Amino acid sequence: MKLMVHKRFLRLLSKGRECIWYCQKPKLFISQPVTLTFGRTVRSFHVASPLMMKLLSVEEIFARKSLHQHLTKVQLEYKECLQAISSITMEDQCSEEELRAKRTKISLLAPLIQSIRELDKKHEEMAETEMLLKEEDQALRELAELEKEGCLQDIQQLRAKILELLIPEERVELSDLVLEVTAGVGGQEAMLFTAEVFEMYQGFAQYHGWSFDILEHMTSDLGGLRHASASISGPQSYKKMKFEAGVHRVQRVPKTEKQGRMHTSTMTVAVLPQPTEISFTINQKDLRIDTKRASGAGGQHVNTTDSAVRIVHLPTGVVAECQQERSQLKNREKAMKALRAKLYSMKLEEETSKRYNQRKIQVGTKGRSEKIRTYNFQQDRITDHRISITVHDVKSFLLGEDLLEDMNSLLQELSNQEALMELLEESSQEEQ
């Protein structure tokens, strides 16, 4: 029976990656090589050092007292809001603003409350079915068996849904972002690696069907990249890419190395959420735009093919430039896009640096200066230092397909769990 249920979950798992998080899964809290099932493929992850974090199953989380306490608290809160609104009278002192806050709260909590109620109902059904199982009639018992199976499945799904709804929303859950790659320590070798990583994310974007539009692209003589940026948009793109921000380290014998010595070089990935025009405005007066046409008469007097545009944000000194396009206007639009993202992320960083201090999976912001991953070519392995997970086959990983996706999903899951645990902890502390 248990096996059947498990199979069902696996099938569910293969239906879509979205369900991964709330499905039963072999645990990672093992000191030997573990196998994780990720929908289409089975991958081996090797635990390099004792795991700092354990990926919990839905059951394990539901077994926690703190979760049930939190759910009870939420239901109570919902009820109070409802009462406050329905009992309101014209002369009540309750201000308009308070009311609005309560209404917002209700609409925010409604899906969660709905799921909790459905879960309760399913538990009742389950109890009834259990009764039927004790019947003498064989046919009835078989029927009850079937029903029980369905019930269990529904319960599992509802529990998963509840957990998903509990995960605190990121303030910036946008779908568009600007990816920035910059070569770090290691000269030409670092630049060559930067080019490879940039291509990896181009592959990752293609894998997910996101658009990948290169904004800046500064090459080195040997075909490496000093710095590049690209605008990425598509469903879930920010949600996934934010786990890629940080310092990536490469260990290998560079092509440029004559004596066969291994080098360690670094490059930095920054993931900047792309703000909308409305959410973030830049004063045009703060900008200085440089083009090759700036000197001389311009217009019909000059014919140039250099359409590069450089924009300086005067108050901060932040610069963005683009020479990707043959149209100057297009270059200006792209440079502006890069600049907006840079300024916006500076602003966000200021606001959020305090909020995520304790989190291990540094969500997009503080991670920029932190070493997150090592690509060791000689041992053909990639190690993610945030979760101490190692995966093999660097070449396939750099394609930006299944291997990167799996690593990325794992980060997402652990980050979600981290956020949830944080929430439950806060909630139970309040109780005391």
User: Using CB under 8 A as the criterion, which residues of the chain lie in contact with another protein when the complex forms?
Assistant: 195, 214, 217, 219, 223, 289, 291, 293-294, 297-307, 309, 324-330, 332
Q: Which is nearer to another protein, 153 or 202 (CB)?
A: 202
**Minimum distance, C-beta of residue 31 to another protein, in the bound complex (Å):** 42
Whether 281 contacts 406, CB under 8 Å? no
Q: Which is nearer to another protein, 150 or 298 (CB)?
A: 298
**Minimum distance, C-beta of residue 294 to another protein, in the bound complex (Å):** 5
Q: Which is nearer to another protein, 72 or 304 (CB)?
A: 304
How does strand 246-252 pair with strand 211-219?
unpaired
Location of structure tokens 């039927």: 132
**Minimum distance, C-beta of residue 205 to another protein, in the bound complex (Å):** 15
Q: Which is nearer to another protein, 19 or 218 (CB)?
A: 218
Question: What one-letter code names the amino acid at 195?
Answer: A
Q: Which is nearer to another protein, 19 or 214 (CB)?
A: 214
**Minimum distance, C-beta of residue 266 to another protein, in the bound complex (Å):** 21
Select from 343, 339, 69 the least CA-distant residue to 216: 339
Q: Which is nearer to another protein, 281 or 327 (CB)?
A: 327
**Minimum distance, C-beta of residue 237 to another protein, in the bound complex (Å):** 21
DSSP string, 311-344: EEETTTTEEEEE-S-SSHHHHHHHHHHHHHHHHH
Whether 178 contacts 215, CB under 8 Å? yes
Checking 42-49 for CB contacts under 8 A at 24+ apart, the result is 43/391, 43/402, 43/403, 43/406, 44/391, 44/392, 45/389, 45/390, 45/391, 45/410, 46/381, 46/389, 46/390, 46/391, 46/392, 47/388, 47/389, 47/390, 48/383, 48/388, 48/389, 48/390, 49/388
Q: Which is nearer to another protein, 198 or 204 (CB)?
A: 198
Tell me how crowded residue 239 is: count the other CB atoms within 10 A of its CB.
Answer: 18
Question: What one-letter code names the amino acid at 411?
Answer: L
**Minimum distance, C-beta of residue 323 to another protein, in the bound complex (Å):** 8
Phi-psi region of 266 (alpha: psi -120 to 50; beta: other; left: phi over 0): beta
